[in-house]
Structure 1
Amino acid sequence: MDQLKISSNSANAPLSFWDDSYAQPYFDNSTKRDITVTIGQTATLQCRVRNLGDRAVSWIRKRDLHIMTIGILTYTNDQRYQALHTEGSDEWSMRIASAQPRDSGVYECQVSTEPKISQAYRLNVVVSKAKILGNHELFVKSGSDINLTCVASQISSPPSFIYWYKGGRVVNYSQRGGINVQTDRNTKTSKLIISRATLGDSGNYTCAPSNSDASSILVHVISGGEHQAAMKHGNNSANSLFSLSKCYRIRDCSSTPWRLLQSLKSSTIALLCCLIAFNSFFTIR
């Protein structure tokens, strides 16, 4: 008679279902072992143990080897921690309410076999902060559109809402026409579009998701004349610097740096560049 051979899908799994009562416990690795939550959220570490038998499951905090739970009992004065288990199930979980950064770290789910077996779980408690894309200041020409995009990063679940404020007041559709807010909770993104901006639309704008720190940006709406003046000033500075660099290359203008220095007094950046070039000129000569 041929000998019956039994194979196993896992080195730690029982050889057959007839031997369950005699098999060693093993971990079901289908549970998530790297958990990230934001401050104030509830974190749940789920440990699933097969063939537990009469052994006990404990949760250990790795950094100080503190026993947090054994079975359904909790062994810490911090009431935010709680052991969770449904009778008859293979899941032995630990829940941490209102998670804080100090709760971050490695926790071990440990089974009282001989020798003991354990499985590590990492908890990350992060500070979620919204971010308005771009620089901290935005300059918009009068009549153009203000287009702001806010992203709520490092959050495990979509925000319930994302509010936009101007100053201390919620941006209201009824305040003026041409205001459009587009929020996508799945991508944790919100866009504020203000059409045909006027000088009155200048101010501090804030994006405030329900579960993240807010982010702000200062918007300047400038008239066409101011825009042209700014461009002209930039061109004049650029032309002065070009003349200085040309003079430096030919090395034939001993007094020119002084004249350029006097003509660029209104621009701090140009002044610094002139002094550097002037020093280098005489050093080389």
Structure 2
Amino acid sequence: MMNLNQPPQTPVDLEPEFEGTIQNISSPTGREAILTCAVKNLGRYKVGWLRASDQTVLALQGRVVTHNSRISVVHEDFRTWRLRIRQLRESDRGCYMCQINASPMKKQIGCIDVQVAMSRPCATLGALVGGICHRWKRFGWEIVVGQG
């Protein structure tokens, strides 16, 4: 009988290895980002997710160890490991490491680029506004200034 909480057994002479690479992704603030790490021959070893910049451990196997409720990890058959960050913030921008605790340690890095939407400038009617005008419009019609 197969235990769903443990990886399938592999012959002892097979070392764990990555299948492919982690794809870098770009996503806007407020959305979610998912980094996928594929592993074969995991055997008795464990997969961890870390924030690469400061080596903060986020999850080990399927268990999230950070106190950030926006982060979760899921796996399929102990082969495909997904780090999911919901409600992206600008502070989530950076690289994340998928790590196998073999000896020597094996790692792959994938990066998340968080796109921050540009806000439109606003001003109160009648307020003084500074800036350089490139085009003027009035009632939808462009006004040509300074030619002639």
**TM superposition score normalised by structure 1:** 0.40
More strand by share: 2
2:74 equivalent to 1:91: no
Partners of 1:137 and 1:220 within 8 A in 2: no
**Structure 2: distance between partners of 1:46 and 1:138:** 48
Q: 1:137 to 1:110 in 2, by over 3 A?
A: same
Shift of 1:125: 0.7
Segments of 5+ residues of structure 1 without an aligned counterpart are: 1-19, 140-198, 203-218, 236-285
Once the two structures are superposed, residues 25-64 of structure 1 have per-residue CA deviations (whole angstroms, 9 ceiling, x without a partner) of: 11111541x1111101100111001111111000011222
Number of the residue aligned with 1:137: 135
- Which of 117, 120, 127 pairs up with 2:116? 127
Report % sequence identity: 25
2:23 equivalent to 1:39: no
Higher relative contact order (CA 8 A, sep 6+): 2
Shift of 1:137: 3.0
> 3-state DSSP class of the match of 1:102?
helix
Q: 1:234 to 1:47 in 2, by over 3 A?
A: closer
**Structure 1: distance between partners of 2:56 and 2:112:** 16
1:54 partner letter = R
- Which of 41, 64, 76 pairs up with 1:51? 41
Number of the residue aligned with 1:29: 20
Q: 1:234 to 1:67 in 2, by over 3 A?
A: closer
Once the two structures are superposed, residues 52-104 of structure 1 have per-residue CA deviations (whole angstroms, 9 ceiling, x without a partner) of: 11110000112221100000100111100111113x25111110000111011
Number of the residue aligned with 1:112: 101
Once the two structures are superposed, residues 175-230 of structure 1 have per-residue CA deviations (whole angstroms, 9 ceiling, x without a partner) of: xxxxxxxxxxxxxxxxxxxxxxxx7xx1xxxxxxxxxxxxxxxx4456xxxx7xx6
Q: 1:234 to 1:110 in 2, by over 3 A?
A: closer
Summarize the alignment of residues 202-213 of structure 1 with structure 2, pairs less than 5 Å apart.
Answer: 202=139
Runs of 4+ in 1 over 2 A off after TM superposition: 128-131, 135-139, 219-222
**Structure 2: distance between partners of 1:101 and 1:114:** 35
> 3-state DSSP class of the match of 1:55?
coil
Please say which structure displays the higher CA radius of gyration.
1
**Structure 2: distance between partners of 1:99 and 1:35:** 12
More helix by share: 1
1:24 partner letter = E
Partners of 2:22 and 2:109 within 8 A in 1: no
Partners of 2:36 and 2:82 within 8 A in 1: yes
**Structure 2: distance between partners of 1:25 and 1:58:** 13
- Root-mean-square deviation (CA, aligned residues, Å) is 2.5
**TM superposition score normalised by structure 2:** 0.74
2:64 equivalent to 1:66: no
Number of the residue aligned with 2:66: 76
**Structure 2: distance between partners of 1:30 and 1:37:** 19
> 3-state DSSP class of the match of 1:78?
coil
> 3-state DSSP class of the match of 2:91?
helix
